[in-house]
Amino acid sequence: MRGRPPIVQLKGTARVPIDELKQLPEFTLLPLTYQNFLAAYIESGYDARAAVLASYPNVKVPDSARRMGERILHSPGITMLLHLHFGDDPKDAFCRMVAKAIITGKLTKEQLEAMKLIADVREFRQPWTPRYEKRIIEGMANNEEAVKRRVQRAAKTAAVRKIADQMAAQPLMPDFQNL
């Protein structure tokens, strides 16, 4: 159905009022026309055409208002705020927005870097921790696989030494002690 939000609302979830959305930093970062559109969209009962006519007074043609409303509804900022309005978890809303951008293929390098920055600031992304540390040793092969094997051998040796240190010392020749 045209003019509806591009999201699925779960039954029984509480909606965040527009006054609370206006307090969010995501809302204040929107252009003023988008802020007016979102407020009119929510207050009009999710009618995109009415929201466009209320926030863009120069639009006179109904078909133009409909197309413009669809375009605005699919913008990342509006989509994110609508997810928050419908009570979705901010992390889930962000993940859906990123997934949609990836699937549609409309993702520029700048948008990708901005999404990474937002994910880092909101702590949605875990820092990458390498499974092994690259140790370059002179005179030895230093390609990735060789370094990985060398580091894994060193880790096994360290684990064996740790276990050996925890064991009680036993005499090497218990049979010859009684002679």
The tens digit of pLDDT for each residue in 26-65 reads: 888 889 999 999 999 999 889 999 899 998 888 888 788 8
Q: Is the pTM of this model over 0.75?
A: no
Q: What is the pLDDT of residue 141?
A: 62
Does residue 46 contact residue 61 with C-beta atoms inside 8 Å?
A: no
Amino acid at 77: G
| CB neighbour class for 118 (10 Å; exposed up to 12, middle 13-18, buried from 19) | middle
Q: Which residues contact 90 (CB under 8 A, 6 or more apart)?
A: 83, 84, 122
The tens digit of pLDDT for each residue in 142-168 reads: 667 777 777 788 888 888 787 777 766
The tens digit of pLDDT for each residue in 119-140 reads: 777 777 765 544 445 556 666 6
Q: How far apart are CA 24 and CA 39, in angstroms?
A: 13
Does residue 31 contact residue 25 with C-beta atoms inside 8 Å?
A: no
Q: Where are the domains of the chain?
A: 1-88, 90-129, 131-167
Q: How far apart are CA 115 and CA 109, in angstroms?
A: 10
